Structure 1
């Protein structure tokens, strides 16, 4: 209310006297001295109300207007009746509120126990760092910056839009065409995404699937590949890239693969994040599988170019996108970690998998963890001991003896006579190990032999094997019980799991490049971007699918690309 209105009502510029219940008369509870009869004793009313002359009240009623001097005297009299302690003026509003609550409800009891929030080991192990997803950063760290790197970086920043989680460090001009991404649902703090196909995309994809099932239409499919690339039909270029890898046209195949990954990131939902551990892109949806397969293939190509840390980060991202691990990333992630010298991370990760995923039955994890113990024992901070490394290695050699001879032969190391003549590591190891497990062990050796060939590691391996043989011959270790344990472990690997089959199908076209052709023969499927479809497949668009294709289709298609292709020469 303005002073003008006040003058009309009161006839003067003076303000009316304050109410009897004004803040000037308020006294906090914690300044009162009263006996604490209970938790709410402070709620008792004061038995000595303020006494004011009745005459003064009548005078106020009869004389509503009074001078300013009289009002000032009345205010001073009220302040003098109940003065606040001087030390309360030094308290801020928060301290006053706390004291008031404590006076009302009682002083809180102080607990000496402190609650310690334990860090989530899964969040520590599998968090993905954005800077390690860019292979250019690792190339710069390994080989130094380029001459015009600053100009290239500035030009890249001008030509590309700001996007999150760019795995491909190249600039492409895309239009959103037929592929997009949406949120399928939320469960707690986890968000589930899925790629979506437009009506035009669905028509083109069904025509593409029909052409794959008919061998006579192989020529038509190859002729349509340019249209598929222009329309960014992901499955078509990825299939074409695999054919180029089989023909050892690795540069062109890698360019197609990178373009497909960049496009799928371009059409991704704004909330989709490769570095976010609460983001899911489930493999059970048909539309999501090309992204998983393309990332796994790209990780193998990166580690082949010495970008091991980038490959490791991509592998962790795949595990976060679908924790069920449909592509058996756990079979290769230890090789990426060894190559990138992430020994501490791998040691902790294997400890986690031993509890969560029965990692003690996976030979690759146990051998790799033993090597990590050796490197950690030689580190400055001594995070492990040589005794622990020896113990873990010998325990793993007793469980999976077939790996020893394969490692020594792959490292071009002459097998010592003690090991060559030993029955446990030769005849028994070969007979007790089923062929599917032998193939995987041979593949593991091809992936990791460079780290085992290091002089210190190789000497450590041979010395422990010799001491183990001595203990077996002296019956320090019960040979009969050990052989039974090996046979029990071998029964778990009578055939490949579906996840391993998918992984092998993905890297089969790259076999000659990454492991010198060590990938075993795998079933051939109609669509390489959908190998070994899982039982929980979600086919939202009702595509007509076929589980396995004719073995003669691939050679026929290769002949359309390269007329002088000879299947007999390839088999020989």
Structure 2
């Protein structure tokens, strides 16, 4: 390095460190210089980047002259920097002036476009608005569709992973990712079984799909029907071992496991069926958008409805109420007009359990005009409870003090006047005792015999499912206050009381078939006991309970051999049938051995069986006789 460059660096160091050497003195004039120097530091750094250092090589070696030249350069550069800044500010001020007319033109165009769209929307039909509102209301959130995710949010991911690791088997299979369930590593690999989904048609905003069975799947379905007719669950298990993802076999065997109180295996079998369906969905079947429809009257489509309903019950038993609510939206979105499984009878319960009060109030507001939700006991009582809980959540409970809510009070009073038979069963189920002036009042003591059977069934269903929501002390206090108000209105002869009495007698004449189907699929045994005899006497298969009257099937179940009792049958054939359920003379009528051959074979089989039984009895009797003679010989012994 040259001596000139060394002096240059030394001179720069002296200039930089002069303020640091001066600051401790504390003199006024020196402090001013320090402030100026400190202010100029960042500016000098920026300026040095723009200065050409090679131009300074011609500077004289004299140190004083160099300092003077540098001072001049610094002042000149400071002047140029201030002028540049002022120019930039002027440019910034000029930009909005040049852009103002363009922005005004754009806003005018946007206003015109929005106005045109508004005119088009205003001229649309009312049915389109209702359909769009339904789709928006029933949109499913994918984040809350998996019960394992909700369990992780409640208990933590480590606890859930530890529980899943204990359930892993020795054989590991890798499966496709799923939205609704988490496939287990122990599950068998999913092969093509012949289950598929096709797009049938598109109408407006909705797309209608159809599930189809191939010839191979139809063959497996026939094997399943034969296994069910045999009344032996081992035959169903054998079908499932050969075809691990047959839907109806999974559902029926899950029902057997539930009856044997193996709930974990029952839930896992249903999860496997859900996983099979999800892997075979059509690429356009986006079940989260609530615009995909399935016709429940088609036999192939019903399995998806029933599988999701059973999966919903198991998810509820695990305490994952938000997941259950999303599954309710999914089920209701598949056929919102007919609602074949009566999801409306339980969606309010899961909305309250998941604290989704705004969703419930919006559902009641938007669907009241077309579906008359207020005429259902569950919505009549759940809506005021949602309004009450929402008011308490906004202001919070203060040492048990209830925050007043006039809207909730009015709705609850209307519900009590419309359905007075709900109060006493609800209090009994909750185990709560209210003042005698309420419980023994004639208005609430109306017997259930005065109400139609359909209304009694709805009331029973509501009480058995929703009673836990009314056991909160603040809710009971609020309920008691409104009961006193209702009694006052009844004693005063309110017109609403008379109108509601007429409505109860005229609006609940018959019970739709989908309500019975909902009760059968629900895990509420006390409600099932109240079903009428014409329904309970039917042969109900849990994989397809109470098929619709307009059933449509692509293929029919094979005709089963007639095993009804005929008048021409002999007593011997009846006796043989009682011992051998598989015995049937009519199946062998065309045999070459003649009609008497099956009877002879059955007699031979029974003869051999009786001979074996007699031999066992004789051997047992001889053994007992030997045991009885042993003490007699001891008594005859002279010793």
TM-score by length of 2: 0.61
1:385 to partner: Cα distance: 6.5
In 2, Cα distance between equivalents of 1:286 and 1:179: 13
Measured against aligned partners, the alpha-carbon deviations of 1:345-378 in whole angstroms (never above 9, x if no partner) come to 1111111221121212111111100101111222
SS of residue matched to 1:380: helix
2:482 corresponds to: 464
Measured against aligned partners, the alpha-carbon deviations of 1:539-564 in whole angstroms (never above 9, x if no partner) come to 12234599xx99xxxxx9xx9xxxxx
Specify which structure has the higher proportion of helix: 2
Contact 1:361 1:489 in 2 (8 A): no
Contact 2:519 2:528 in 1 (8 A): no
Q: Considering only CA atoms, is the larger Rg found in Structure 1 or Structure 2?
A: 2
In 1, Cα distance between equivalents of 2:164 and 2:246: 30
1:373 corresponds to: 387
SS of residue matched to 2:202: strand
SS of residue matched to 1:346: helix
2:268 corresponds to: 255
Contact 1:176 1:267 in 2 (8 A): no
In 2, Cα distance between equivalents of 1:443 and 1:148: 33
1:417 corresponds to: 436
In the TM superposition, 1:35-114 aligns within 5 A as 114=115
Contact 2:422 2:459 in 1 (8 A): yes
SS of residue matched to 1:185: strand
Q: Any gaps of 5 or more consecutive residues in structure 1? A: 1-89, 100-106, 551-555, 560-572
Contact 1:136 1:169 in 2 (8 A): no
- What's the Cα RMSD here? 3.8
Does 2:358 match 1:337? no
Shift in alpha-carbon separation, 1:169–1:517, aligned structure 2, 3 A: farther
Shift in alpha-carbon separation, 1:196–1:457, aligned structure 2, 3 A: same
In 2, Cα distance between equivalents of 1:511 and 1:471: 35
Contact 1:289 1:529 in 2 (8 A): no
2:423 corresponds to: 404
Shift in alpha-carbon separation, 1:253–1:470, aligned structure 2, 3 A: same
Does 2:256 match 1:243? yes
In 1, Cα distance between equivalents of 2:203 and 2:478: 48
1:441 corresponds to: 459
In the TM superposition, 1:120-519 aligns within 5 A as 120-146=132-158, 149=161, 163=177, 165-168=179-182, 170=184, 172=187, 173-212=189-228, 214=229, 217-219=230-232, 222-231=234-243, 232-323=245-336, 324-380=338-394, 386-427=405-446, 430-473=448-491, 475-478=492-495, 482-483=497-498, 485-507=500-522, 510-511=523-524
In 2, Cα distance between equivalents of 1:148 and 1:306: 14
Equivalent residues, number: 437
In 2, Cα distance between equivalents of 1:113 and 1:205: 56
1:63 corresponds to: none
SS of residue matched to 1:378: helix
Mean Cα displacement is larger for which, 165-174 or 411-420?
A: 165-174
In 2, Cα distance between equivalents of 1:209 and 1:373: 49
2:75 corresponds to: none
In 1, Cα distance between equivalents of 2:205 and 2:452: 43
In 2, Cα distance between equivalents of 1:123 and 1:385: 34
In 1, Cα distance between equivalents of 2:110 and 2:266: 69
SS of residue matched to 1:146: helix
Q: Any gaps of 5 or more consecutive residues in structure 2? A: 1-96, 123-128, 397-402, 565-577, 582-639
Shift in alpha-carbon separation, 1:243–1:152, aligned structure 2, 3 A: closer
Contact 2:368 2:374 in 1 (8 A): yes
1:564 corresponds to: none
In 2, Cα distance between equivalents of 1:520 and 1:249: 26
In the TM superposition, 1:561-572 aligns within 5 A as none
In 2, Cα distance between equivalents of 1:425 and 1:269: 53
1:68 corresponds to: none
Contact 2:236 2:253 in 1 (8 A): no
Contact 1:229 1:236 in 2 (8 A): no
> Which protein has greater RCO, CA pairs closer than 8 Å, 6+ apart?
1
Mean Cα displacement is larger for which, 200-209 or 134-143?
A: 200-209
Contact 2:377 2:419 in 1 (8 A): yes
Contact 1:432 1:486 in 2 (8 A): no
1:531 corresponds to: 545
In 1, Cα distance between equivalents of 2:486 and 2:428: 19
Shift in alpha-carbon separation, 1:545–1:300, aligned structure 2, 3 A: farther
